[in-house]
Structure 1
């Protein structure tokens, strides 16, 4: 009888240890899966932010090229300016997505990039508006302001990419 009771207690204890071990393993696997999902979401958000920033730059660059070229028309400038403006919303949304998925240093770098891109946007808008008033786009002071904004956005772009690589563990 005592032997049976000891056997039953031993079996119950072993079963409990097995269940506890399985529960810990399951929790560990859930944490790993959650981390993988977060990494995937971050990778997508960072990639979208980089891509959208490149689209903003490319569209303003196209308008700048037209403004510098003799013989271009206000209608061409308008079309390019409209395309440049249309790229802002996706970029802004991409920065917001990065702010949500983080981590904090990457979100801060994305915000610094957004501010630099906004300065580029404002320089492009000012140049475009002045060109419409002047009837031509060869306005050296506004071209220079635009080029300063182009140069000023490079470092925040590099910092964002570096911070994204670090957050993804891709920086070695």
Structure 2
């Protein structure tokens, strides 16, 4: 899952991207192992991934319950814009893709990346298709043919079992 999220994490202005469960538990967060800052003494703004995931999914859950009362469909993509940045949530089957960005990031440019990642994650969670495709034969013809074993009326024969009076020599 990390390899699916890495391209989004490399976009300038994206501070955090991760895949979380609907309960708010982080599943895959690129750079989570680097959390804690650098060794040279410089301060690094660290985002508490667990807290951000819990708050974001709780907000999404409340928003989903609110719009359900209006008989609207569940939101698939939610953007919360603030003065210092944005929180973007995209729902995929069984999980939520979360991104926290700076205010300089255009959310519409991020949308394509996140929607594509959510679809790839959905395919990865479903696994490969297990359906066996049978070899198809030609479908039956709409009209009977001589090869189908059905008697075909030709203009010379007329209805089945009768003879054309023009072709019979004398009856």
Identify which of structures 1 and 2 has the higher relative contact order when contacts are C-alpha pairs closer than 8 Å and 6+ apart.
1
More strand by proportion, 1 or 2?
Answer: 2
**TM-score, scaled relative to structure 2:** 0.27
Which structure is larger by alpha-carbon Rg, 1 or 2? Answer: 2
